[in-house]
Amino acid sequence: MSTEPGPQSVKGPRINKGLTIVNTGNGKGKTTAAMGVLFRAWGRDMKVQMLQFIKHTTANFGEQRAAQKIGVPVRAMGDGFTWRSKDLDQSADLARALWEDAKEIIASSDNDLVILDEFTYPLHYGWIEVQEVIETLGKRPEMLHIIITGRHAPQELIDFADLVTEMNVIKHPYSEGIKAQPGIEF
């Protein structure tokens, strides 16, 4: 028998609700898990879109290509920021600009699922206020599902979310000197 803790049983009526989902942790799979849900929702003719923070505007990985083929809006609007970036002000400005667009997209009733990919970084670095994000999410259309990915999810966001998963590294080929493989990593 499994010793894993199961979901707590809840008495009373079950409700429908747009979920706030956070995929965090240092292991691989945060963005791709979000894209798996996007694929699933898209298959149900739900209106889906993904906004990618941090990732370079010109990103043309497998996922951007797939999205274009199936006609799902995926917009990357970053400068490929890493902790080594020279121009942090520019990274912060790009993140704030995309957040301004994200707020409108979230407030409109045009979507069923919106993914804010790598959104934890602008929060972690203090470029965008967590409190403002929580307020925006709190007053969004009732059935809109939101997925936020990235390492170091702030505690306030975790507290607010309905579903939080932490990916942990057990093994990663990177530490064996294996290059990122097309179709698996990008």
The residue ranges that bind ligand ATP (CB under 6 A) are 26-32, 118, 149, 151, 167, 169, 172, 174, 180, 185
3-state DSSP assignment of residue 157: helix
Identify whether 55 is a catalytic site residue: no
Binding-site partner at residue 62 among ligand ATP, Mg ion, none, CB < 5 to 8 Å by type? none
Identify whether 63 is a catalytic site residue: no
Residue 120, interface with Mg ion (CB under 5 A)?
no
Identify whether 69 is a catalytic site residue: no
Q: How far apart are CA 183 and CA 165, in angstroms?
A: 23
3-state DSSP assignment of residue 156: helix
Nearer to ligand ATP, 19 or 167 (CB): 167
* In the complex, minimum distance from the CB of residue 31 to ligand ATP, in angstroms, rounded to a whole number: 3
Q: How far apart are CA 89 and CA 30, in angstroms?
A: 26
Q: How far apart are CA 99 and CA 2, in angstroms?
A: 42
Nearer to ligand ATP, 155 or 175 (CB): 175
The residue number whose beta carbon is nearest to Mg ion equals 31
Write down the residue that tokens 């309905």 correspond to.
162
Write down the residue that tokens 């902790």 correspond to.
83
Identify whether 42 is a catalytic site residue: no
Identify whether 168 is a catalytic site residue: no
Judged by CB under 5 A, which of 20, 23, 24, 31 binds Mg ion?
31
Q: How far apart are CA 2 and CA 17, in angstroms?
A: 29
Token pair for 102: 């994200």
- Known catalytic residues are 26, 28, 30-32, 40, 81, 83, 118
